[in-house]
Amino acid sequence: MNLPAPKPEQQNPSAVPAAAAAGRSLDTHLRRYAARTAGMTASEIRALFAVASRPEVVSLAGGMPYLAALPLETLSADVAQLLATEGQTALQYGSAQGIPALREQICQIMALEGISAHPDDVTVTVGSQSGLDMVTRIFCDPGDVVVAEAPSYVGALGTFTAYQAEVVHVPLDDEGLIPAELERTLSALAAAGRRVKFLYTIPNFHNPAGVTLAVHRRAEVLEICARHGVLVVEDNPYGMLGFDGQTYPALRSMESENVVYLGSFSKTFAPGLRVGWALAPHAVREKLVLAAESATLCPPTFTQAVVSRYLAQHDWMGQIKTYREVYRERRDAMIGALEAHLPAGCRWTRPDGGFYVWLTVPEGIDTKAMLPRAVTQRVAFVPGTAFFGDGTGNSQLRLSFCYPTPERIREGVRRLATVLEGELEL
């Protein structure tokens, strides 16, 4: 039906003024915001999700676990049973520290990486992201320094800047964080009178670098931090996802008083549950629980109960083995395709666990500028700049192999190779 266009005086009188009012209101709120919000900017990954999720695009961008590998029918029966038998407690408020049964199970899981911990020192968090948030909240004042690997996890960098901490990067190589560089950086920061609050490190199957901190470097990293009076925050969501079933001794297993360990069920079970944990030195635990209380009152009782029941009744280790097999096959597909198709001058890491490959492209290619052209060619990645707090990372990018099938990975890498060849001709 074709309606005649309304005469100007018949148009909704509030339509245009509403847009102007929204603009004015935005200005008003901008003036109201706390200074710390200046550090809160949209991550490059989030902005990417909209384009990358179009079906024609092979997304090698996001780090989403492959949940089709979960036995969803069994889980739904479990959840129904949980509600029927324990609904009144599972849907009730709980303790800020998390449900005791789950904290005990978490201690058993951490024992697999050599950690001997008491459930009293475990705080359940809303994913390890909220652990990161709370640790930063209790330790960092504006202007404090957090030392992190170069590159580092984008979500952690966002948290640090939201608390107005400055991130100083320390290079890594194929064996993870380089101890001599850590020593040099901490000495320089001390000489400059800077207050370094903690080292944030992802020792196993690093996001985004894909590398693992060599066991022979671990004690040295701990010793350097202890000597400089710097706490270690060990973020370990991928530690159980070694493709050959290998696990590495956690930093927390070697030193209990100077390490906060963050764990998560997001990659070993499911991220939508939002269940992770923080194991803090005993002296820190109380502050952490107070921070948790003020943030969320308590972590979700329901999903904690789901995780606890799953751990008690299911072959959760079998599920982790399934995940390892799925991701190993995808890693192989990605590495094989990179070897077959990428132009000379590209270098990449060879992860033996986790979700990510870190790719360095030939000099002169800017991966951020290249991304729109890649999306036109129906492939997405995350430009390296997302993983640095100092704007570097232009000649690098992260590829995730966790979600697409091996066939899609091969197709995505073929498309990426075409894009890179095009860049070299520009």
Of the listed pieces 37-45, 94-102, 122-130, 392-400, which binds ligand PMP according to CB under 6 A? 122-130
Residue of 204, 266, 377, 400 interacting with ligand PMP (CB under 6 A): 266
- CB atoms < 10 A from the CB of 44, how many? 17
Cβ–Cβ under 8 Å, residues 213 and 182? no
Q: Which stretch binds ligand PMP (CB under 6 A): 82-90, 263-271, 310-318, 403-411?
A: 263-271
Minimal distance, residue 43 CB to ligand PMP, in Å: 11
Q: How far is the CB of 208 from ligand PMP (least distance, A)?
A: 8
Widest CA span of the chain, in angstroms? 78
* Minimum distance, C-beta of residue 153 to ligand PMP, in the bound complex (Å): 4
Choose, by CB under 6 A, the member of 39, 63, 300, 412 that binds ligand PMP. 63
- # residues near ligand PMP by CB under 6 A: 14
Give, for 200, the enclosing helix (H) or strand (E): strand 196-201
Applying the rule CB under 6 A, the residues between 271 and 290 that interact with ligand PMP are: 271, 276
**Which residue type occupies 367?**
T
By CB under 6 A, name the one of 127, 179, 300, 404 that touches ligand PMP. 127
Of the pair 128, 301, the CB lying nearest ligand PMP is at: 128
Choices 27-35, 126-134, 239-247, 410-418 (CB under 6 A): range interacting with ligand PMP: 126-134
Torsion sign across C-alpha atoms 286, 288, 291, 296 = negative
Q: Is 299 in the site for ligand PMP (CB under 6 A)?
A: no
Residue 93 CA to residue 308 CA, distance in Å, equals: 16
Separation between Cα atoms, residue 103 and residue 118, nearest integer Å: 9
Binding mask 342-361 for ligand PMP (x = CB under 6 A): --------------------
Element (H, E) at 44: helix 44-52
Distances (CA, A) of 106 to 12, 125, 129, 130, 286: 59, 12, 17, 17, 19
Taking CB under 6 A as the criterion, the residue among 97, 128, 201, 349 binding ligand PMP is 128
Q: For residue 128, give both structure tokens.
A: 């390890």
Tell me, rounded to whole angstroms, the distance of Cα 315 from its chain centroid. 26
Contact criterion met (CB below 8 Å) for 236 and 89: no
Question: Using CB atoms, what's the residue nearest to ligand PMP?
Answer: 127
Q: How far is the CB of 297 from ligand PMP (least distance, A)?
A: 18
Is residue 149 close enough to count as binding ligand PMP by CB under 6 A? no
Is 202 a binder of ligand PMP (CB under 6 A)? yes
Query: CB under 6 A: which stretch of 124-132, 138-146, 282-290, 412-420 binds ligand PMP?
Result: 124-132
Among 154, 65, 89, 168, residue whose Cα is nearest residue 387: 154
Is 176 an interacting residue with respect to ligand PMP (CB under 6 A)?
no
Give the bridge partners for 261, in sequence order.
234, 279
382 contact partners, CB below 8 Å, separation of at least 6:
44, 45, 48, 61, 154, 208, 397, 398, 400
* Sign of the four-CA dihedral 100, 239, 331, 42: positive
By the rule CB under 6 A, 129 interacts with ligand PMP: yes
State yes or no: residue 155 binds ligand PMP (CB under 6 A): yes
Site membership for ligand PMP, residue 264 (CB under 6 A):
yes
- Whole-angstrom distance, CA of residue 244 vs CA of residue 256: 27
Per CB under 6 A, contacts with ligand PMP among 221-260 are 235, 237
Q: Binding residues for ligand PMP, per CB under 6 A?
A: 63, 127-129, 153, 155, 202, 207, 235, 237, 264, 266, 271, 276
